[in-house]
């Protein structure tokens, strides 16, 4: 039957000038691409020799096994987990969060970009609701009902001091502090850091912390085990406006710097992670398209949320909104400092407030 069909098709092509020309054109292009792609086809590499070379490579390396956690579905967490656990004020007090993971490989933040992640597409078990619940509990502990004594202790541990005025903040910050005059005085002002944190990747410990956060099915590259990263976090100022869980925070500070230990090539680690089977292709594509990723802070957009670039003075800022549009996060850079406004605030208000900031 197929032969009859082919015969019929060929008869038609022979008789139809347009189809014949088209076939001719396809044939010419096929020959052209073949001539180019198959040129210089003189490569030779014996399989036996290659296998010996491969075995030597594996034996030399100590990093070829991945430590497993939960299911054998390798997933990237890495620096983001360490940063989420250890990075103070700028991350912890930002009300907008996503339950999705992102690949952060920030050496120093110069700009921002947003990526969209749908947690349901991730190949491991990340119970988003449970994680969000835990996050909400932590936020409530900080801004809602909390035990003052516990909070004070926690703040002290992270070198976060509450101050009573902008002038006091400037003294503590050791520099001029930007303000939002049209919003009046903030309800609370905190100054954090500076802080230098060295953390040695302990895969077992990270595993335990992920488990506590309800994140399962994560595999971390063993080559990172025992490696020490240093995170230098300059001072930051956080001003809270509004009551309880309404209102917003205004954060300012210089960029943290993450020092990658010798022997860890983050380019390779990043590429390796992006090759993980099961990663949504769209996510991989988004992350690969980030140019200058070492200086770009990646912000995950919550499912159903939105993001856009907005002009704040001379800088290009990033606005990220949640699904409802009621919670927004606006990030931008001015001179050498990073700024953020985030909370239960409309996007228009966030932009308007950001544009009204007075830099001293």
Partner 1 sequence: MAEAKEIQVDEFERIFLSYWEEIYLYLYRMLRDSHEAEDAAQETFLKLYSRPPAANSNYRAWLYKVASREGLNRIRSNNRRTRLISKIKSLWSNEVAPDTTDIVLANAESVEVRDILARMRPQYAQVLLLRHHGLSYDEISKVTGISKNSVGTILVRAEKQFATLLERGEGK
- What residues make contact with partner 1 under the rule CB under 8 A? 26, 29-30, 32-34, 36-41, 43, 45, 47-48, 50-51, 53-54, 57-58, 64-66, 71-74, 123, 271, 275-278, 288
Distance in Å, CB of 73 to partner 1, minimum: 7
- State how far the Cα of 327 lies from the Cα of 311, in Å rounded to an integer: 19
Give 271 or 324: the residue with its C-beta nearer to partner 1.
271
Give 30 or 308: the residue with its C-beta nearer to partner 1.
30
Give 29 or 174: the residue with its C-beta nearer to partner 1.
29
Give 291 or 360: the residue with its C-beta nearer to partner 1.
291
Residue 65 Cα to chain centre, angstroms: 25
Instruction: Give bridge partners of residue 315 from the DSSP assignment.
Output: 312
Give 18 or 47: the residue with its C-beta nearer to partner 1.
47
Distance in Å, CB of 271 to partner 1, minimum: 7
Distance in Å, CB of 72 to partner 1, minimum: 5
Distance in Å, CB of 275 to partner 1, minimum: 6
Give 35 or 243: the residue with its C-beta nearer to partner 1.
35
Give 72 or 323: the residue with its C-beta nearer to partner 1.
72
- State how far the Cα of 277 lies from the Cα of 54, in Å rounded to an integer: 22
Distance in Å, CB of 102 to partner 1, minimum: 20
Distance in Å, CB of 274 to partner 1, minimum: 9
Distance in Å, CB of 66 to partner 1, minimum: 6
Distance in Å, CB of 303 to partner 1, minimum: 21
CB distance 339 to 178 below 8 Å: yes
Distance in Å, CB of 71 to partner 1, minimum: 7
Give 276 or 315: the residue with its C-beta nearer to partner 1.
276
**HEC assignment per residue over the chain:** CHHHHHHHHHHHHHHCHHHHHHHHHHHHHHHHHHHHHCCCCCCCCCHHHHHHHHHHHHHHCCCCCEECCCCCCCCCCHHHHHHHHHCCHHHHCCCCCCCCCCCCCCCECCEEEEEECCHHHCCCCCCHHHHHHHHHHHHHHHHCCCCHHHHHHHHHHCCEEEECCHHHHHHHHCCCCCECHHHCCCCEEEEECCEEEEEECCHHHHHHHHHHCCCCCCCEEHHHCCCEEEEEECCEEEEEECCCCCEEEEEEEECCEEECCCCCCHHHHHHHHHCCCCCCHHHHHHHHCCCCHHHEEEEEECCCCEEEEEEECCEEEEEEECCCCCEEEEEEEECCEEEEEEEECCHHHHHHHHHCCECC
Give 54 or 359: the residue with its C-beta nearer to partner 1.
54
């Amino acid at each position: 039957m197929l032969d009859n069909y082919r015969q019929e098709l060929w008869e038609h092509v022979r008789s139809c000038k347009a189809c014949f020309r088209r076939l001719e054109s396809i044939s010419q292009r096929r020959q052209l691409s073949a001539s180019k792609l198959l040129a210089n086809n003189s490569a030779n590499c014996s399989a036996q020799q290659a296998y010996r070379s491969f075995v030597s490579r594996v034996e030399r390396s100590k990093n070829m096994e991945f430590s497993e956690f939960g299911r054998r579905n390798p997933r990237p967490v890495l620096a983001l987990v360490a940063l989420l656990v250890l990075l103070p004020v700028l991350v912890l007090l930002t009300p907008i969060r996503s339950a999705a993971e992102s690949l952060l490989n920030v050496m120093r933040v110069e700009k921002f970009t947003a990526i969209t992640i749908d947690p349901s597409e991730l190949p491991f078990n990340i119970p988003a609701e449970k994680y969000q619940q835990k996050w909400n509990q932590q936020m409530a502990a900080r801004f809602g009902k909390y035990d003052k004594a516990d909070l004070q202790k926690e703040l002290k541990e992270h070198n976060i001091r509450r101050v009573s005025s902008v002038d006091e903040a400037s003294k503590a910050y050791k520099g001029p502090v930007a303000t939002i005059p049209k919003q009046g005085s903030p309800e609370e002002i905190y100054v954090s850091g500076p802080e230098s944190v060295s953390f040695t990747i302990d895969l077992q410990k990270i595993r335990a912390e992920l488990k506590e956060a309800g994140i399962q099915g994560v595999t971390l590259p063993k080559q990172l085990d025992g490696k020490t990263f240093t995170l230098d976090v300059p001072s930051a100022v956080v001003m809270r406006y509004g009551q309880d869980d309404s209102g917003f925070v205004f954060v300012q500070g210089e960029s943290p710097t993450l020092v990658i230990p010798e022997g860890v090539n983050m380019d390779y680690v990043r590429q390796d992670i992006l090759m993980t089977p099961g990663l949504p292709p769209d996510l991989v594509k988004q992350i690969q398209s980030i140019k200058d990723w070492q200086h770009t802070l990646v912000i995950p957009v919550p499912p159903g949320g939105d993001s856009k670039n907005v002009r704040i003075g001379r800088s290009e800022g990033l606005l990220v909104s949640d699904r409802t549009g009621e919670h927004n996060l606006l990030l931008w850079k001015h001179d050498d400092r990073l700024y953020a406004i985030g909370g239960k605030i409309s996007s228009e208000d966030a932009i308007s407030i950001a544009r009204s900031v007075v830099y001293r």
